[in-house]
């Protein structure tokens, strides 16, 4: 199947980055759809800012920036966006009911052979696929933040996803300049979060038990395990509320060994969510 037109549903944190990669690296025509003009404008501003950084570094020319922008078509009209799309990548908020509603609506306007993928980090692919009439053409396509820089895409097979669909998404992933990892079973957390979330939870436990300072915990993991960033800094970047949501899905699906540390819940209740709220394990207000 030849991919020419890609649709990204959602212009937020992940959606705008996926749009940029699809237009910049893969050179696809990309329709970026959201429900409010301000979301679209904000997404386009973030794409522009990112491209200007590449320009300043001398990594692309003004003409290349304009070519990339000419391939991006922001829209509020779902029907117009998806009607002749080859692949649709859903990147709306991480809430199963909202995702299923958007997916069902998109599915109703889409040609029969189009592939639909969800950029979920924790929700069951089989459950999301059930909102569409094409579970065999539905898969997970989990990008990492920021999509412009992170090389990995986890491709997740739902209960009914065909091998042909997985192969097409692997090709699309490579065309976008990314590295695919195929997750053969639809399990909570896929590969990365299955390993990462317990590690982050343990780091929170060390703070809760006052074993070492957040700075020293981060230093130990950076120097001892060669992580580019310590676990508590990473938590502040990801958002403690997002981490708690993923932890709760894994706890429910995989059992109590994935249970959130009480300190994580306390911090979320107190609005200490990390960078986005100004404070988490570190103070980001300065």
Confidence class of residue 282 from pLDDT cuts 50, 70 and 90? very high
Question: What percent of the chain lies above the pLDDT cut of 70?
Answer: 100
Give the tokens for residue 282: 């570190």
In this predicted structure, the answer to whether residue 207 has a pLDDT above a threshold of 90 is yes
Place of tokens 């799309």: 85
pLDDT tens digits, 259-279: 999 999 999 999 999 999 999
User: Which residue in the list 119, 122, 154, 277 is annotated as catalytic?
Assistant: 154
Mean local confidence (pLDDT), 1-13? 93
Contact 153, 181 (CB under 8 A): yes
CB atoms within 10 A of CB 130: 17
pLDDT tens digits, 85-115: 999 999 998 889 999 999 999 999 999 999 9
pLDDT tens digits, 144-160: 988 999 999 999 999 99
pLDDT tens digits, 107-143: 999 999 999 999 998 889 999 999 999 999 999 999 9
Question: What percent of the chain lies above the pLDDT cut of 90?
Answer: 90
Mean local confidence (pLDDT), 58-82? 97
Confidence class of residue 78 from pLDDT cuts 50, 70 and 90? very high
Told to judge if 121 belongs to the known catalytic residues of this protein, a careful annotator would answer yes
SS (H, E, C) 100-112: HHHHHHHHHHCCC
The whole-number pLDDT of residue 13 equals: 85
User: Which residue in the list 16, 90, 142, 277 is annotated as catalytic?
Assistant: 142
In this predicted structure, the answer to whether residue 1 has a pLDDT above a threshold of 80 is no
- Structural fold of domain 192-277: 1.10.1040
Told to judge if 202 belongs to the known catalytic residues of this protein, a careful annotator would answer no
- 27: alpha, beta or left, given left = phi > 0 and alpha = psi -120 to 50? left
Q: What crossing angle do the helices spanning 13-24 and 62-70 adopt, rounded to 10°?
A: 110
Give the tokens for residue 193: 């979060």
pLDDT tens digits, 24-69: 999 999 999 999 999 999 999 999 999 999 999 999 999 999 999 9
Contact 180, 242 (CB under 8 A): no
More confident residue, 256 or 210: 210
The whole-number pLDDT of residue 249 equals: 87
Told to judge if 154 belongs to the known catalytic residues of this protein, a careful annotator would answer yes
Contact 33, 50 (CB under 8 A): no
The whole-number pLDDT of residue 168 equals: 97
User: Which residue in the list 118, 122, 193, 261 is annotated as catalytic?
Assistant: 193
pTM over 0.85: yes
Domains of the chain, by residue range, sit at 5-183, 192-277
Is the sign of the CA dihedral 34, 36, 39, 44 positive or negative?
Answer: positive
Mean local confidence (pLDDT), 213-236? 97
Mean local confidence (pLDDT), 192-197? 94
Mean local confidence (pLDDT), 250-260? 91
Q: What's the whole-number average pLDDT of the chain?
A: 96
CATH class of 5-183: alpha beta
In b/e form, how buried is each residue of 199-237, taking b as 16+ CB within 10 angstroms? ebbebbebbeeeeeebeebbebbeeeeeeeebbbbbbbe
Told to judge if 108 belongs to the known catalytic residues of this protein, a careful annotator would answer no
């Amino acid at each position: 199947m030849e991919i020419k037109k890609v649709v990204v549903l959602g212009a937020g944190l992940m959606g705008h980055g996926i749009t940029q990669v699809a237009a910049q690296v893969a050179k696809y025509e990309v329709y970026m759809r959201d429900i409010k003009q301000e979301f679209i404008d904000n997404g386009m501003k973030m794409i522009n800012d990112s491209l200007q950084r590449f320009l300043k570094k001398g990594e692309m020319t003004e003409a290349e920036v304009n070519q990339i922008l000419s391939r991006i078509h922001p829209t509020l009209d779902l029907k117009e966006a998806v009607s002749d799309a080859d692949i649709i990548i859903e990147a709306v908020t991480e809430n199963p009911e909202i995702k299923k509603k958007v997916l069902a609506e998109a599915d109703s306007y889409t040609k029969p052979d189009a592939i639909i993928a969800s950029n979920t980090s924790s929700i069951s692919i089989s459950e999301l696929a059930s909102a569409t009439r094409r579970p065999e053409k539905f898969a997970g396509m989990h990008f990492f933040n920021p999509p412009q820089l992170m090389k990995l895409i986890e491709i997740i097979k739902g209960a009914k996803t065909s091998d042909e669909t997985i192969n097409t998404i692997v090709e699309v992933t490579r065309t976008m300049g990314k590295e695919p990892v195929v997750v053969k079973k639809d399990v909570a957390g896929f590969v990365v979060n299955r390993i990462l979330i317990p590690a982050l939870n343990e780091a929170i436990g060390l703070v809760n038990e006052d074993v070492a300072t957040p700075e020293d915990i981060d230093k130990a993991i950076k120097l001892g395990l060669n992580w580019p960033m310590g676990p508590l800094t990473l938590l502040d970047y990801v958002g403690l509320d997002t981490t708690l949501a993923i932890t709760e899905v894994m706890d429910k699906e995989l059992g109590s060994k994935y249970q959130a540390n009480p300190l994580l819940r306390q911090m979320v209740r107190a609005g200490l969510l990390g960078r986005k709220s100004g404070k988490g394990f570190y103070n980001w207000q300065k």
